[in-house]
């Protein structure tokens, strides 16, 4: 008698570059879970139809990448608190009743990479978050839950950062974190962690911030990753900081999605090390 192979996929456009099938294949092999994971490129105007067709053909869940995270949020029947805070969904699960449950694992992936893989404890620390778009919003709840001392958000359009800070103000107060949002002028002094949540690295653009935020003990973390250190990482290195890219975040958010689907938590650090070796890059540059 053959075992039933449950089907999962990553949905985006473009999607062929995604490392998710490799990552989840390693998770499945490690945990003994019987699943098949593929890539699906959805038309820009056909995301919902792509998901419904996948579910109709036996799909049990999917990861969502750009540009469909807002579409996934709208499509989900219910969402987790962290997805509600992010206003976006990157993980869909088909429940037993056929309804779609939406979650967002990006923020927890970021926190686990910084604390678990890079060994930087976040409690009580000062964090400078560059950007106020979807990526920044998607990680704010888990960052606040990490009991930071202060988060300063800087954005080219200062009003967007101020609005985002206002949106999360009550939660920040509840966890005892000072949360400030605005333009470059609101960031003063050296920060323990500087996180680039802008998409600038994709175009080789450096986000606007004061280099005096960087010290010799500062972790400069770029949520993007590529075959080489990003322009943000190069800049931070020149100013004495140590740096990391977002590959660990990618693996950690995938591990959390795997847990959401399967109820089993894989050994993500092992898979991250394998992927680093495969891509020929070090853990920290």
CB-based contact 63:11 (threshold 8 Å): yes
CB-based contact 128:187 (threshold 8 Å): yes
The CA R_g of the chain, rounded to the nearest whole Å, is 19
Cα–Cα distance measured from residue 251 to residue 20, given in angstroms and rounded to the nearest whole number: 8
Surface-to-core class of residue 105, CB atoms within 10 Å of its CB (0-12 exposed, 13-18 middle, 19+ buried)? buried
Cα–Cα distance measured from residue 158 to residue 135, given in angstroms and rounded to the nearest whole number: 16
pLDDT mean over 272-277: 92
Examine the pLDDT at 247 and tell me if it is beyond 90.
yes
Examine the pLDDT at 280 and tell me if it is beyond 80.
no
Q: How far is CA 108 from CA 143, 145, 256, 281, in A?
A: 8, 10, 8, 23
In the 8-state DSSP scheme, what is residue 101? E
Evaluate if pTM is beyond 0.75. Answer: yes
65 a known binding residue? Answer: yes
Look at residue 122 in the predicted model and tell me its pLDDT: 98
Look at residue 3 in the predicted model and tell me its pLDDT: 65
Catalytic positions, please?
Answer: 69
- Whole-number average pLDDT of the chain: 94
What domains sit in the chain, N to C, each tagged with a CATH number? 6-103+248-282 (3.40.50.10860), 107-113+120-244 (3.40.50.720)
pLDDT mean over 255-265: 97
Give, in degrees to the nearest 5, the angle at Cα 264 between 262 and 266.
120
Greater pLDDT, 227 or 246: 246
CB-based contact 124:149 (threshold 8 Å): yes
Cα–Cα distance measured from residue 260 to residue 56, given in angstroms and rounded to the nearest whole number: 20
pLDDT above 70: percentage of residues in the chain: 97
pLDDT mean over 7-35: 96
158 a known binding residue? Answer: yes
Examine the pLDDT at 1 and tell me if it is beyond 50.
no
Cα–Cα distance measured from residue 138 to residue 250, given in angstroms and rounded to the nearest whole number: 14
End-to-end CA distance of the chain: 49
Return the SS3 of 183.
coil
Count of other CB atoms within 10 angstroms of residue 114: 25
Over the stretch 102-154, which tens digit does the pLDDT of each residue have?
999 999 999 999 999 999 999 999 999 999 999 999 999 999 999 999 999 99
């Amino acid at each position: 008698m053959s075992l039933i192979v449950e089907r999962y996929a990553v949905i985006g456009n473009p999607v062929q570059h995604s490392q998710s099938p490799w990552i989840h294949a390693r998770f499945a092999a490690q945990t003994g879970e019987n699943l098949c994971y593929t890539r699906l490129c959805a038309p820009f105007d056909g995301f919902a139809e792509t998901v419904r067709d996948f579910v109709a053909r036996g799909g049990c869940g999917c990861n969502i990448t750009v540009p469909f995270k807002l579409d996934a949020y709208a499509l989900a029947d219910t969402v987790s608190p962290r997805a509600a805070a992010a206003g976006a969904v990157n993980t869909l699960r088909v429940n037993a009743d056929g309804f779609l449950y939406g979650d967002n694992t990006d923020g927890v992936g970021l926190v686990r990479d910084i604390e678990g893989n890079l060994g930087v404890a976040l409690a009580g620390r000062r964090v400078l978050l560059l950007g106020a778009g979807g990526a920044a919003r998607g990680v704010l709840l888990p960052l606040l839950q990490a009991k930071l001392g202060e988060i300063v958000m800087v954005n080219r359009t200062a009003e967007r950062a101020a609005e985002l800070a206002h949106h999360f103000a009550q939660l920040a107060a509840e966890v005892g974190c000072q949360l400030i949002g605005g333009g470059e002028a609101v960031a003063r002094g050296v920060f323990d962690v500087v996180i680039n949540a802008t998409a600038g690295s994709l175009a080789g653009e450096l986000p606007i911030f004061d280099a005096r935020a960087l010290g010799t003990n500062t972790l400069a973390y770029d949520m993007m990753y590529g075959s080489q250190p990003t322009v943000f990482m190069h800049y931070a290195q020149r100013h004495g900081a140590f740096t990391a890219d977002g590959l660990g975040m990618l693996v950690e958010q995938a591990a959390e999605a795997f847990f959401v689907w399967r109820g089993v938590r894989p050994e993500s650090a092992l898979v991250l090390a394998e992927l680093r070796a495969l891509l020929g890059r070090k853990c920290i540059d």
